[in-house]
Amino acid sequence: MFIGLAGPTGAGKTTLAHRIAERLKAHLMRDPFVDNPYLPKLYASGKTHPVALTLQVELTFLALRVAQLREIRDLLIHGTPVVADWSMAQQVVFAHTTLPPEDASRVRKTYATWSDAGARPDLLIALTAPASVLARRIAQRGRPMEAALSIAYLEHLARAFDTPLHDYASRIIRLDTSDFNAFNDEDVNALLARLPALERS
């Protein structure tokens, strides 16, 4: 099984992916954001993102994520389940929040062109949380490049993820993490209990 996660910055994707991978004895595939040299520049640019810079960010992410999807496909072929703290839904949603509509549409079409080049999640867990919760978590983890993210931007981002995501996975679970604690075994167990039912449906 391949489980992907989607959601705004600060929703808890990495923490939850780690817990699920641990419980399912799956390979954890981390978002390659640390390998994108343009991302810190984008965050530092504040409210006005230069189009050239946002395009560099999105196209770099596309290359990094397609490469990871191919790696995931190989792991699945050899019988290794995979949990990723990202999905290609991230790619398209973020493009629509940062790029002009015509460029965001081109990113979506480019993703579609490459969609058969790697694995597609069997399940996508789509996380959400209010902007105030996202901001608190971002402050707690203290990444310097995220320091300039505003409440207004996080509200916009959270709304952007509240869209149909069925193009990106066979099954979808939506999860509000404002009242979900990924460090609480009962919460994680309740989520995992929903997986077999999805596999049989």
Phi, psi dihedral angles at 158 (to 5 degrees):
-60, -40
d(CA 134, CA 13): 11
Question: Is 31 annotated in the active site?
Answer: no
Sign of CA dihedral 30, 34, 36, 42: positive
Provide the residue type at 116 as one letter.
Answer: D
Contacts of 158 (CB under 8 A, 6+ apart): 8, 128, 129, 130, 131, 134
Residue 43's alpha-carbon distances to 27, 37, 99, 163, in angstroms, are 29, 11, 14, 23
Is 140 in contact with 127 (CB distance < 8 Å)? Answer: no
Q: At what angle do helices 101-114 and 51-77 cross, to 10 degrees?
A: 20
* Residue of 31, 85, 176, 185 marked catalytic: 85
| Residues annotated as catalytic (active site), given as ranges | 85
